[in-house]
């Protein structure tokens, strides 16, 4: 497991390199050269294009998931095996989206064989099955602070439930988050997502009074954090944080900063919620809280928890989680929080989650994942250096960030054209990689699984080498 010093260094390096990249003009790939590159790609993926045209009739923008869309059309995927996915025409792609981080063992992993077999003969039962209990026991064994657990289906839903619990318990309404962080689409944490400074851009449909219940603090800004907490300490129910920083570490935060958040929370009797939707069972068996040595009051889990199926959870000390209770006395005291769901702890997802955690226990994949990510980052950085570009890659465990276009620390409307240019460059790079058979999340985020091989890494490096050759140097 990484030490806090090495994480600190990692964060420091990322910010230094980002500053250097920001000083460079945004590099746009020449359309003419690209057009030649894309001829074969567009020919091979015609079926996806037709499906996308049809999808536009049924889905807004023709898509169901924002982050995986690649212009001019997304690839329609039919299946996956190990580190690869196959589109409807049988083309193979090396996949680094890994279900937005949910697949720790790649696709069609042998670890799930037993689950498929059981489901084929045993069909589904929905309520009160042993697997939900076994999964809770396993989570507790991995994360001792998760003594008690309430299952949900999506990360969004679990965040919403945790915040409601914090508010009910605290009898306070305000929530603090780090600018730019995404904790799901439900209010109030939808404020200031993705790019710090966008404020209420994505808050249509959220009443102003509700929007104002979310306070934001810039990443690593200790004085803003102290000021915000001191000023309203008696009204703040909870602070919610994602490690290694907003957007899976695209905006990295220093370990000291998150420890200061925890310290201030304790001091002012504010609940400290750790959003481990991405990091839970991905960064380490014990999640980011084990790596960073934190003791959150509430932990939010998702993604890997369900082995790539829809499962999420809020966990914590029994004393807190018990307030998700149907107990009438508690309800009358105004503390019990009503949550539930037909599909919560559904058997398919809990079986998948259990198989995932068992595979983690048997294989302890984290050192290997960390080494793979380090190798990927080292090879990419030496490629960028030798080609003379200030691009850079860095990683936190199996989460790799590759930056060819840096983002200013704060969005502003006066620099909207600069932002748009950066965004279209990211899209250009993402499409180029896709044409080379590589899928990433938003063009910058790469999730590794135990299924990724050295050969896959060579494929990635070659694709970036070709990309660099296309970039005009003057
Ligand atoms: N929290 C974090 C840190 C996330 O990255 C996400 C989604 N990627 C969520 C919450 C929301 O999870 P879901 O998409 O399952 O609703």
164-204 pLDDT, tens digit per residue, is 999 999 999 999 999 999 999 997 899 999 999 999 999 99
Minimal-distance CA residue to ligand 1 atom 2: 183
Q: What is the rounded distance in angstroms from the CA atom of residue 319 to the CA atom of residue 241? A: 21
Give per-residue pLDDT as tens, 148-174: 999 999 999 999 999 999 999 999 999
List, in sequence order, every beta strand (DSSP E) within 349-391.
none
User: Mean pLDDT, to the nearest integer, of 282-307?
Assistant: 98
User: Mean pLDDT, to the nearest integer, of 241-253?
Assistant: 97
Residue 335 has a CB neighbour count (10 Å cut-off) of 17
- What confidence score (pLDDT) does residue 333 get? 67
Instruction: Tell me: pLDDT of 328 over 90.
Output: no
Length of the chain: 474
Instruction: Tell me: pLDDT of 145 over 70.
Output: yes
Q: What is the rounded distance in angstroms from the CA atom of residue 192 to the CA atom of residue 199? A: 4
The answer to whether residues 280 and 302 touch, using CB atoms and an 8 Å cutoff, is yes
Confidence grade of residue 330 (pLDDT, cut at 50, 70, 90): low
156 Cβ below 6 A of ligand 1? yes
User: According to CATH, where is 3.90.1150.10 located in the chain?
Assistant: 4-104+365-470
Q: How far is the CA of 218 from the centre of ligand 1 (A)?
A: 20
Q: How far is the CA of 183 from the centre of ligand 1 (A)?
A: 5
Minimal-distance CA residue to ligand 1 atom 7: 184
| Alpha helices, DSSP H, located in 66-173 | 113-122, 130-142, 155-170
Among the CATH numbers 1.10.3720.10, 3.40.640.10, 1.20.1250.20, 3.30.70.1280, which is that of 111-363?
A: 3.40.640.10
What global pTM score does this model have?
0.97
Confidence grade of residue 334 (pLDDT, cut at 50, 70, 90): low
Pocket-testing residue among 66, 302, 349, ligand 1, by greatest number of atoms within 8 A of Cβ: 302
184 Cβ below 6 A of ligand 1? yes
Q: How far is the CA of 185 from the centre of ligand 1 (A)?
A: 8
The answer to whether residues 264 and 229 touch, using CB atoms and an 8 Å cutoff, is yes
Q: How far is the CA of 435 from the centre of ligand 1 (A)?
A: 27
Q: How far is the CA of 232 from the centre of ligand 1 (A)?
A: 27
Instruction: Tell me: pLDDT of 301 over 80.
Output: yes
99 Cβ below 6 A of ligand 1? no
CA distances from 328 to 32, 320, 370, 455 (A): 69, 16, 48, 59
- What confidence score (pLDDT) does residue 98 get? 97
- Name the one residue in this structure whose structure tokens are 């226990």: 361
Beta-carbon contacts of 17 under 8 Å, excluding residues fewer than 6 positions away, are 390, 392, 394, 403
Q: How far is the CA of 28 from the centre of ligand 1 (A)?
A: 31
Give per-residue pLDDT as tens, 79-99: 999 999 999 999 999 999 999
User: According to CATH, where is 3.40.640.10 located in the chain?
Assistant: 111-363
User: Mean pLDDT, to the nearest integer, of 34-61?
Assistant: 96
Which numbered atom of ligand 1 lies nearest the CA of 303?
15
- The topology under which CATH files domain 4-104+365-470 is 3.90.1150
Residue 114 has a CB neighbour count (10 Å cut-off) of 13
| Cis geometry, peptide bond prior to residue 454 (ω within 30 degrees of 0) | no
Q: What is the rounded distance in angstroms from the CA atom of residue 312 to the CA atom of residue 339? A: 13
Confidence grade of residue 329 (pLDDT, cut at 50, 70, 90): low
Q: What is the rounded distance in angstroms from the CA atom of residue 387 to the CA atom of residue 360? A: 39
Q: How far is the CA of 89 from the centre of ligand 1 (A)?
A: 30
| Per-residue tokens: 50 | 């037709």
Percent of the chain clearing pLDDT 70 (strictly above): 98
- What confidence score (pLDDT) does residue 125 get? 74
| Helix (H), strand (E) counts: the chain | 17, 14
Task: Output DSSP code: residue 277.
Answer: T
């Amino acid at each position: 497991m990484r030490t806090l010093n090495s994480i600190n260094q990692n964060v420091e390096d990322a910010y230094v390199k980002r500053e250097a990249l920001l000083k460079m003009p945004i590099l746009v790939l020449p359309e003419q050269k690209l057009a030649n590159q894309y001829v074969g790609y567009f020919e091979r993926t015609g079926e996806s294009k037709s499906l996308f045209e049809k999808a536009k009739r049924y889905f807004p923008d023709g898509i169901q998931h924002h982050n995986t869309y690649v212009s001019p059309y997304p690839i329609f995927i039919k299946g996956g095996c190990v580190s690869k996915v196959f589109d409807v025409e049988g083309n193979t792609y090396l996949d680094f989206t890994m279900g937005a981080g949910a697949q720790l063992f790649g696709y069609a992993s042998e670890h799930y064989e037993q689950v498929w077999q059981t489901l084929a003969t045993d069909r589904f039962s929905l309520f009160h099955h042993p697997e939900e209990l076994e999964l809770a026991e396993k989570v507790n064994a991995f994360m001792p602070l998760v003594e008690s657990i309430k299952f949900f289906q999506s990360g969004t839903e679990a965040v919403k439930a945790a915040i409601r619990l914090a508010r009910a318990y605290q009898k306070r309404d305000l929530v603090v988050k780090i600018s730019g962080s995404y904790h799901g689409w439900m209010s109030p944490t939808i404020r200031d997502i993705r790019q710090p400074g966008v404020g209420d851009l994505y808050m249509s449909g959220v009443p102003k009074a509700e929007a104002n219940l979310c306070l934001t603090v810039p990443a690593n800004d200790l004085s803003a954090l102290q000021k915000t907490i001191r000023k309203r300490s008696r009204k703040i129910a909870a602070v919610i944080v994602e490690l290694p920083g907003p957007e899976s570490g695209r905006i990295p935060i220093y370990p000291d900063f998150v420890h200061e958040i925890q310290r201030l929370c304790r001091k002012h009797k504010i609940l400290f919620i750790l959003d481990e939707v991405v990091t839970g069972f991905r960064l380490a068996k014990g999640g980011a809280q084990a790596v960073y040595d934190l003791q959150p009051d509430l932990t939010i889990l998702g993604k890997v928890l369900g082995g790539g199926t829809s499962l999420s959870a809020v966990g914590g000390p029994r004393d807190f989680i018990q307030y998700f209770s149907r107990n009438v006395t508690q309800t009358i005291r105004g503390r019990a929080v009503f949550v539930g769901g037909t599909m919560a702890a559904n058997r398919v997802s809990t079986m998948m989650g259990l198989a995932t955690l068992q595979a983690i226990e048997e294989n302890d994949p984290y050192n290997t994942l960390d080494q793979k990510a380090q190798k990927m980052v080292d090879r990419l950085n030496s490629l960028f250096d030798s080609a003379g570009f200030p691009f850079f890659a860095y990683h936190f465990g199996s989460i790799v960030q590759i930056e060819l276009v840096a983002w200013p620390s704060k969005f502003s409307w006066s620099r909207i054209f600069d932002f748009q240019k950066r965004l279209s460059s990211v899209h250009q790079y993402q499409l180029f990689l896709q044409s080379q058979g590589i899928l990433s999340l938003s063009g910058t985020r790469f999730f590794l699984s135990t299924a990724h091989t050295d050969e896959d890494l060579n494929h990635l490096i070659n694709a970036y080498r070709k990309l660099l050759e296309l970039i005009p140097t003057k």
